[in-house]
């Protein structure tokens, strides 16, 4: 689900509840700003929610590896 910060402010309670079953991407000034996910959402569910944003060839293992390498610079 993709929303704006203004919409989040107006309907915070709704989006907090909705985040328990679906990742919510928040845009601010036309840029991706944050992601709201439920506390119990698995990493696989989060990855699935981002597949439209991440490059198509991305695999969870590749992403983890790139984050590990970037953190060691």
Q: What is the CATH number for 61?
A: 3.40.1620
Residue 58 has pLDDT above 70, yes or no: no
How many domains, the chain? 1
What gap in Å lies between CA 28 and CA 38, rounded to an integer? 20
Taking 60 as the threshold, does the pLDDT of residue 2 lie above it?
Answer: yes
Q: Answer whether residue 14 shows pLDDT above 70.
A: yes
In Å, what is the CA distance from 65 to each residue of 24, 61, 70, 71?
25, 6, 9, 10
Give the residue carrying structure tokens 């309907």: 11
pLDDT at position 40: 75
User: Which residue range(s) make up the domain with 44?
Assistant: 2-71
pTM of this prediction exceeds 0.75? no
d(CA 3, CA 54) in angstroms, rounded, equals 18
pLDDT in tens, 26-45: 999 989 889 888 877 667 77
pLDDT at 21: 86
- In 1-73, DSSP assigns E strands to 2-4, 24-28, 31-36
């Amino acid at each position: 689900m993709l929303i704006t910060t203004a919409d989040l402010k107006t309907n915070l309670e709704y989006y907090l509840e909705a985040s328990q079953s679906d990742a919510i991407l928040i845009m601010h000034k036309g840029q991706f700003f944050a992601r709201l996910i439920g506390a119990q959402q698995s990493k696989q569910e989060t990855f699935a929610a981002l597949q439209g944003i991440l490059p198509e060839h991305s695999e969870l293992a590749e992403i983890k590896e790139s984050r590990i390498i970037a953190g060691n610079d």
